[in-house]
Structure 1
């Protein structure tokens, strides 16, 4: 990824903060579409009940403005990964 406008800039590249439990919640929500016979680890879903309040977030304004980057959501990424694995019978 190179663009002249990024020369000499420090750019934070991140979709955002998360706790691992969010991924487990999503896998349990969408995983049945690709693995109906499988049970996924539940973790501690009470951690994410009612939403999360993050103590910090990354300023990604330069990333969007200079590089034009956007990210897929956690759910899209998880769904795509599970679909990819299921197609390969993993």
Structure 2
């Protein structure tokens, strides 16, 4: 079976996802009195709002995490054709 993104994150552990989010440069904000959490990242147009009362990881959070991971890898100098050439 061929996968589009062979290193995509598939987990039900919210703590692992939050740690990965922070390592990728994102911010996590707790919204008071609503039971929601906002996941912010510079590469996103708007923050992702998730119900923090859930015990599992919502699919939209995994989707956005994988998208941010892919964007980070695309902008990494390791993956560029000429690392000596500065990026704009």
Same fold (TM > 0.5): no
The structure that is strand-richer by fraction is 2
The structure that is helix-richer by fraction is 1
Q: Which has the larger radius of gyration?
A: 1
TM-score normalised to structure 1 length: 0.30
TM-score normalised to structure 2 length: 0.30
Q: Larger relative contact order (C-alpha < 8 A, sep ≥ 6)?
A: 1
